[in-house]
């Protein structure tokens, strides 16, 4: 299956990231503090420099972690200095619910590439997109998986946001937090620019278009062989 949507690997496990780096289908990378904590990263900057010593030719996003906009700005300057392929992730608001509009606009005007993250609502996109109009290149990460977790269909929101971005060719939309491989197909069908997914999902890419009868037989064989291996008897 030929995909138009660009595939980004989402994670902070070094071995997993380097495995995906070798895959020609992977066009970029995203990380966040939660993934880093889960992967056992202790030194944020050291980890980033280590990864960037190898992954230096594909876009990669590292996130600020202050809750103060002035401190976020200082962190963003430092993170951006780590490499030309680096995008700085800025949350759509701080923990007080205050929008990061002014910060994003200031960074964009300085020429820093920004990835605005944790977006779940169309009105958030409306607020933040004008702040990115002077950016040399920017992403907006819309958490479609979390929208779906709330019992809502993310497709209408994702499509509406894409329509808005028609007026901003320097901004690409990321389908973030996918829950299954089919989300890659959905993102591709609506013309979403990028989808970022964990290695567990990306490793299923060879299944796209797989013959269902063949897949059914493989499933039956799996159940049978596992029962034999376990030595089950009735």
Q: Is 38 a catalytic residue?
A: no
Which helix (H) or strand (E) segment is 77 a member of? helix 69-80
CA–CA gap between residue 60 and residue 150 (Å, rounded): 28
Q: Is 31 exposed, middle or buried (0-12, 13-18, 19+ CB in 10 A)?
A: buried
Task: Provide the b/e sequence for 66-78 (b: ≥16 CB within 10 Å).
Answer: eeebeebbebbee
Q: What share of the chain is helix, strand, coil (3-state, %, to 5)?
A: 45, 20, 35
Q: Which of 37, 42, 89, 210 is catalytic?
A: 89
Active site residues: 89
């Amino acid at each position: 299956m030929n995909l138009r949507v660009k595939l980004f690997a989402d994670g902070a496990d070094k071995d997993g990231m380097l495995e995906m780096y070798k895959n020609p289908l992977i066009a970029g990378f995203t990380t966040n503090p939660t993934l880093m904590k889960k992967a056992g990263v202790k030194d944020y900057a050291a980890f980033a420099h280590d990864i960037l010593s190898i992954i230096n030719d594909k876009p990669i996003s590292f996130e600020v972690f202050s809750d103060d906009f002035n401190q976020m700005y200082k962190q963003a300057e430092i993170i951006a200095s780590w490499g030309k392929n680096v995008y700085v992730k800025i949350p759509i608001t701080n923990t007080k619910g205050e929008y990061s509009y002014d910060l994003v606009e200031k960074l964009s005007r300085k020429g820093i590439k920004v990835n605005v993250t944790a977006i779940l609502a169309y009105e958030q996109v409306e607020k933040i997109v004008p702040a990115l109009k002077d950016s040399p290149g920017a992403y907006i990460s819309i958490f479609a998986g979390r929208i779906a977790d709330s019992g809502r269909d993310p497709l209408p929101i994702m499509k509406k946001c894409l329509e808005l971005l028609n007026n901003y060719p320097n901004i690409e939309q990321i389908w973030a937090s996918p829950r299954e491989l089919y989300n890659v197909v959905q993102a591709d069908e609506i013309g979403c620019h990028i989808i970022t997914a964990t290695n567990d999902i990306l490793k299923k890419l060879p299944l796209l278009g797989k013959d269902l009868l063949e897949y059914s037989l493989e499933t039956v064989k799996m159940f049978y062989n596992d029962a034999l291996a376990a030595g089950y008897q009735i």
